[in-house]
Amino acid sequence: MAFTSVGVSLVALGALHIIPQFIPLSQQQLFAAVKPSLQWLVSGSIIAAGAPSLFCVASIPHAAMAALAFLSVGAQNLLAQQLLYGPALASLAAWLLRHVVHGVSVPTSTAFAFVLIQLAHFVLGAVVTMLYPAPIVPSLMDVGSMRVAIERDPEGIQFVRIPIIQQQQQQHDAFLDGIMIPPSSRQVPKFGRRKYLIYLGGNGEMFEMTYLSLVVLADRLGVTVVMANPMGVGRSAGVTRSGEDLVLAARSTAEWILNGGNAGSGAAPAAVSRRDVVVLGHSIGGGVASRLVAQHYPEFGLVLDRTFSSLSDAAISLSPVSKNPTFVRFVLSLSAFGDLNNTKHFEEISHNRRLITYHREDQIIKFQESSVARLPQFQKGGSLADHVVELRSHKFTKDPHNIGIADLDGFEEASKRILSFYERTLVNS
């Protein structure tokens, strides 16, 4: 009986990893929310039957934290539902079902094997959350009030719905939530036709948070800025599980712009030339931007703003657990997120419409440890030094990493480079 139930449990755990491939993107967020609880229900019932003392040691403190969270934030907090309430209910169900499902003879060794499985799930989940915490950000902020403030802006700013590219489905049933910001009508037009800048934000950055910086960027450059929240962030459908999912969201945004948008979704006005588009990626968005341009849209201009040489280099620099490069890269390789390599992709692009901006005092992407700009080829005398602009800020600025690029000294030079990337349809030229 125990052997059969253990086999079924292993199959169930495997199925939980495969099922998302067959769920429509529009419904994946719900499954992602309940998946940790389902995993714990399956593993927990085995552990409770074979090592009840160990199960109690793990479950009782967790239940206490769930109770405290319920008293503090209530039942409606999505983050608490996913990380505390759901797993706590799964613990109760696992305890009640332990002998019903597995009989009375689950070996202790089997229970400990499932402890290791559960620990692996926890560690890899924690790695992905540290690498990309954006899906939990809306639970920590009043995003609704931010959207109300954006809606009051009179300058033609639009919320847009961008269809997510789906290889296996022809219909567009899932959308990214985005924003399109034209330059202010007060600005003197720089171009004879509309130019676009796709902004790919940093870790946890939503357009609701960075909206004012995007307005400044649109006005300073005289171009239309488009930013979409990645899958599973804010009101965007789907789930971001890997770097490739971030690239998919960026591709969807690019295709929406190039094809002129869709009626009723907050449409881009007309089909757009690829030479009319520049991609600016900040922080982790830089890793997405360089892969997007190198592998999918080589005609696009590219700006990498305060970003890493590779995601693994940034993870090593920021890791609170270990600075051992081999260990960190090994853990990263086990996670589904994968690596993002700016150095490799930047060098793969054959044209000169590419730029790197960096800040020596950056406290997140530290210059000496993980910045792509620290590498010899990007420094003075290097083969790609002409593609680099250093940003500066006032001496009292504590965190230059999270300041909008247009608000930093050095942007004047960077903006001249960026404007030169667009096809020459300048006004009065």
Instruction: Check residue 156 and give left, alpha or beta (phi > 0: left; psi -120 to 50: alpha).
Output: left
pLDDT digits (tens, 9 = 90+) for 334-353: 666 778 999 999 999 999 99
Mean pLDDT of 302-312: 95
Q: Which residue type occupies 292? A: L
What are the angstrom distances between the C-alpha of 26 and each of 128, 239, 397?
21, 9, 41
List b or e across 17-41, with b for residues whose CB sees 16 or more CB atoms inside 10 angstroms: eeebeeeebeebbeebbebbbbbbb
Main-chain dihedrals φ then ψ at residue 352, nearest 5 degrees: -100, 5
**Is the predicted pLDDT of residue 2 greater than 70, yes or no?**
no
Q: Read off the pTM.
A: 0.83
- What is the percent of the chain where pLDDT is above 70? 84
Mean pLDDT of 162-169: 75
pLDDT digits (tens, 9 = 90+) for 308-327: 999 888 888 876 665 667 77
Of 87-96, 120-129, 265-274, 306-315, give the lowest mean pLDDT range.
265-274
For the chain, domain boundaries:
2-131, 138-421
Predicted confidence at residue 307, as pLDDT, reads 97
CATH architecture assigned to 138-421 = 3-Layer(aba) Sandwich (3.40)
pLDDT digits (tens, 9 = 90+) for 191-218: 667 899 999 999 889 999 999 999 999 9
**Is the predicted pLDDT of residue 236 greater than 70, yes or no?**
yes
**Is the predicted pLDDT of residue 240 greater than 70, yes or no?**
yes
Alpha helices in 273-426 (DSSP H): 284-295, 311-318, 325-334, 342-348, 411-421
**Is the predicted pLDDT of residue 29 greater than 80, yes or no?**
no
Of 163-172, 203-212, 269-278, 301-310, give the lowest mean pLDDT range.
163-172
- Close Cβ partners of 407 (under 8 Å, ≥ 6 residues apart): 213, 216
pLDDT digits (tens, 9 = 90+) for 113-131: 888 888 887 777 766 676 6
Q: Which residue type occupies 145? A: S
Of 6-10, 74-78, 395-399, give the lowest mean pLDDT range.
395-399
